[in-house]
Structure 1
Amino acid sequence: MNANFENAKTIQEELKWFQNVVDTRFKNYFEGQKIDILDVQPPSVEHQTSDYANCINEHKMNIEERAVLILSLIPHVKPSFLDFFFTKNKMYDVPYSEFGGLKHPMHNGFLPTGETVLFLLGGTNIEKRFELMKLFDKKHFFHLNSILFLEKSSSTEPFFSRQLLLSQEYLALFISGKKHKPDFSPHFPAKRIFTTYEWKDLVFSEHLTNGLDEIKNYILHGKKLKNKFQFGKQIKSGFKVLFTGPPGTGKTLTASWLGKEYKKDVYKVDLSMVVSKYIGETEKNLSRVFDLAESKDWILFFDEADALFGKRSTTSDSHDRYANQEVSFLLQRIEDFDGLVILCSNFKRNIDEAFFRRFQLVLNFEIPDVNQRRILWDKSKTEDFEYHKNVDIEYLSENYELTAASIVNILHYSILKCLNRKDGEDRIITINDINAGIRIEKIKQGKSIV
């Protein structure tokens, strides 16, 4: 059966039930009735297979949790449902503060807040409202699974004045039947990275191979050690790794490969962008990244770590002071993150020595040696193409100190030249092709051409 049809059917029944919940609360509030909200029973979804029903069943949601879930979805599927909350208090000619809610400049409907939840399910019962606050605790499955949350706002505003938001992932799941993977935006400063490379395609030194084994051990056993053994009390959450080395030596590729190998999404955050462009929004935006990453067991990859762990300088103005506050926030979140964090720097010497103790592992990605370059020249061309007899791989490997990325770029230029030739010659890479590629690569890097 169509996923959209199944979800729509379940949600329609849930809306009918929730309408009874809302009607009951308003009768209690305006007419003085005393009907327990928990007596308004929801429809059974025990034998339903829609994504919405599966979410309810998987988490064994009670009535209150189901009410919060459908309330978070309503602005997206039936905004007019909540129009009654615009009712004004005639005594003061203002909306009822008890109802909570927000209005957005681009949306005419009522947007529920935490206060809306407390009113609907707790009324004016202070004790009950205190109990309901647990629905937004960090230990609740709503938070742990990034299902829904209260939007972060100014610390001076009441906590429950924040907007109730359904995560983009679950919104997509309930509407389209497909899970949404967040991507880079002004409000989500991280981008998913991935690779098509397999282990056999990679060329690593013994040092890097051993280091990757250490990371593998953490991925396979780290959380078990932390949570199930007494020794876990002595160690900090997560595993922090620093990748250093010149551009093109495979730092980003390796992080992407780790995700592919161990079936984890890898999200890359450019720290130089975060601590400049997003000043003022950094905490809120990065909190969203960290919260999602922890709930989904992502690998976080921070590029340009010099911006975070670089040698400290004196603060010169308010902009710098604010940036330093953001850096402190980032450092703390990375420190507390219960997962694999990889930070990347092109130059190890740029990292403040005081920060090295924060890393469980430091891996240096060096320019490949002669033997590694020989392997890269051979592997990178793939079986689709072959070298002309005038191409001396031994000579190229010994005389050109190139990174893996540079070799791939040179072959890219060379193969495009091949494909421009007539049939029979369009799969053969000549030394002239390679020399032209080397010149282009050197010019790009600002190096002299001999």
Structure 2
Amino acid sequence: MSTHTSKSIQTRVTTHSGWEYALSFLKEVINYRFQKEFSGSAAGYPIWNPGEHTREPLLSWIADKELPTAEIIVLLIGLVPHVSPGFIHNIISDFFPSGGELPDLGGVKGKNHRGILPTGETIQFLLAGKEIEGRILVSAYFSPDHFFAQEGVLYLETVPAGEPVMSGKIIIEEEFLALLTTNRSYQPKTGKEFPAEKIDTTLEWEDLVLSSKTLTQVKEIEIWLRYHHTLLNEWGMKRSIKPGYRILFSGPPGTGKTLTATLLGKYTKKPVYRIDLSMVVSKYIGETEKNLSRLFDKAKNKSWILFFDEADAIFGKRTNVRDAHDKYANQEVSYLLQRIEAHPGLVILASNFKNNIDTAFTRRFQSIVEFENPGYKERYTLWKKNIPVQVTFESDCSLQEIAKKYEVTGANIVNIIQYVCLKTIAMDKREISLKTMLEGIKKEYLKEGKMISI
């Protein structure tokens, strides 16, 4: 579009901050288009040149991405309602003091917002005016393949059937908006619209005790998280393989599945969200699919790790169709299969029993990681790592003997240590006795319905 590449006279703008420069530039762009379309003449097309302000978050991001002028305008017009609600309305009032309809400019009113919310038509007008070919080309900025969609920056809201696609509002992704306006990561609230909670850990990789085979598989996942963009884009594998990564963590409770997921997020700087299946699964027909759709739509193009704990509840084997309920339950599994396959990020399913997961899912996993109950060596390491450094033991209490005799998981061991330490403190003692240790072990065994011989 010729208006984007004009090298004519640069508009000088005196500002005090990066945002002020950006809004002043956008104002010049809008005024240029008004003058060209409604007055028949206009000064040179404004040139983006923030100079010293490029170190500020918004302008620094634009510089790092090397955005062309047209894409800068798309971004700024989408951002402006969030920082200056009356911005577009005030410019229109200055240029058209007598008022009047401007259908070419696009824009809609919101339910709460009292200013003008820009649409795709607004961008068409600013970048191409009334030039039909140029207006058609503008739709490329809202394509799923465009940088804006791929990087989770912005998109066009879906419009009612029969209305022009470009009349949809420009929606800035909440995560991106938070980054540019507060310089912080966006944290969605857990609720019906987003049935998941962020989980993290203060532990390190050294605190995770797994068999060498399992740890090797986990490190392969970490490699994918770090380098999959290079594989898909720079090495040209995008045409051959699906963009996402699907994994099954299988093993008994307490063997480190959740901790592994949080550590993967911690060391690759990606937030981990554990899906609350109680808020996803519904007895009402079609509701489960809607809940899943909202979840995956929210996570699309985000660098999030989705962690489905106790996944059997929703990824379980499909049944023979005996009634309408079975039919719709199977449809839910099929729908979920489609969404997981299409999701570009990392999805981890955790299950106590691998065989409970529908084979339609397991065939599509890139990796199935088995988390086994720890053996003697792993149990002894877990005991040593989790016992407070200031704790000592009475002479008849040997961690080695306890690790050999009692088959417990890492989660069991943490619970036992908490119990015996509190009990020892309550008795005003400094040394842990064998009797107290065995009480803690027995408590964990009974909790899981296991028999124990002391």
> Which category describes the TM-score, using the shorter chain as reference length?
0.7 to 0.9
Question: 1:1-21: CA deviations, max 9, x gaps?
Answer: xxxxxx971211222232233
1:356-435 aligned within 5 A: 356-422=362-428, 425=429, 427-435=430-438
Residue 215 of structure 2 aligns with which residue? 209
Q: Secondary structure at the match of 1:139?
A: coil
Relative to the length of structure 2, the TM-score reads: 0.79
Question: Aligned pair 1:73/2:84, yes or no?
Answer: no
Residue 11 of structure 2 aligns with which residue? none
Q: Secondary structure at the match of 1:104?
A: coil
Question: Aligned pair 1:286/2:292, yes or no?
Answer: no
Residue 180 of structure 1 aligns with which residue? 185
Give distance in 2, aligned partners of 1:182 and 1:171: 12
Give distance in 2, aligned partners of 1:192 and 1:8: 38
Give the 3 Å change call, closer, same or farther, for CA 18–261 of structure 1 in structure 2.
closer
Residue 171 of structure 2 aligns with which residue? 165
Structure 1 unmatched runs, 5+: 1-6, 88-92
Residue 354 of structure 2 aligns with which residue? 348
Residue 10 of structure 1 aligns with which residue? 18
Asked if 2 retains the 8 angstrom alpha-carbon contact of 1:170 and 1:179, the reply is no
Asked if 1 retains the 8 angstrom alpha-carbon contact of 2:289 and 2:336, the reply is no
Q: What count of residue pairs does the alignment treat as equivalent? A: 427
1:243-258 aligned within 5 A: 243-258=249-264
Match for 1:9: what amino acid?
Answer: S
Match for 2:167: what amino acid?
Answer: S
Question: 1:373-428: CA deviations, max 9, x gaps?
Answer: 23222221131323333434345334433211111012122222334354xx3x43
Asked if 2 retains the 8 angstrom alpha-carbon contact of 1:103 and 1:110, the reply is yes
Give distance in 2, aligned partners of 1:326 and 1:23: 52
1:319-338 aligned within 5 A: 321=328, 327-338=333-344
Question: Aligned pair 1:128/2:134, yes or no?
Answer: yes
Give the 3 Å change call, closer, same or farther, for CA 375–72 of structure 1 in structure 2.
same
Give distance in 1, aligned partners of 2:217 and 2:240: 22
Asked if 2 retains the 8 angstrom alpha-carbon contact of 1:10 and 1:52, the reply is yes
Question: Aligned pair 1:437/2:440, yes or no?
Answer: yes
RMSD over aligned Cα atoms? 3.6
Asked if 2 retains the 8 angstrom alpha-carbon contact of 1:72 and 1:165, the reply is yes
Give distance in 2, aligned partners of 1:207 and 1:10: 51
Match for 1:283: what amino acid?
Answer: S
Structure 2 unmatched runs, 5+: 1-14, 94-98
Give distance in 2, aligned partners of 1:200 and 1:43: 49
Asked if 2 retains the 8 angstrom alpha-carbon contact of 1:189 and 1:285, the reply is yes
Relative to the length of structure 1, the TM-score reads: 0.80
Match for 1:114: what amino acid?
Answer: G
Q: Share of identical aligned residues, percent?
A: 38
Give distance in 1, aligned partners of 2:69 and 2:231: 36
Give distance in 1, aligned partners of 2:126 and 2:238: 42
Give the 3 Å change call, closer, same or farther, for CA 108–278 of structure 1 in structure 2.
farther
